[in-house]
Amino acid sequence: MYILKIYINIFDIYRNNIYICTMIRKDLLKGTLKPIILKLLSENDRMYGYEITLRVKELSAEKIQLSYGGLYPILHKLEANGEVLTETEIIDNRVRKYYYLTKKGKRTADKHIKELEEFVNTIRMILKPGTTHSICPV
């Protein structure tokens, strides 16, 4: 038992449930979550966590459902990097934390969205040769 615990602690073996998605394999989504979150924040003055998951769910026709585990680590990282700022409000006896982009965050958002669009186009070129210029909405 102790040997197992040591093994888990050394190699950081945690249960792998980063985000839930109903239709799209999570390894395909890997790397796209940050641009998705940045894109939504760039289109809104401010958003809170639940609002972001709801919006992703709506825009993806319920094919992508962000869980807490997918969303909050990224939001906290963006905050630590100075790409978003937060403000809190007490709503219905609970603390609600709103996120909004800083100038640095807006630049990062533009860069990431552009990169993602290029990536999607490249994949499309491979999968469907001849349809090179359409831009996939994120």
Q: Could you give the angle at the alpha carbon of 59 between the alpha carbons of 106 and 35, nearest 5°?
A: 30
Q: CA 14 → CA 7, 18, 131, distances in Å? A: 11, 10, 41
Copy the structure tokens of residue 1: 């038992």
Among 22, 43, 63, 69, binds other proteins (CB under 8 A): 69
Does the protein bind other proteins through residue 50 (CB under 8 A)? yes
Residue 45 or 92: which CB sits closer to other proteins? 92
Residues at the site binding other proteins, with contacts judged by CB under 8 A: 2, 5-6, 8-10, 12, 14-15, 17-18, 20, 48-50, 53, 67-69, 72-74, 76-77, 80, 88, 91-97
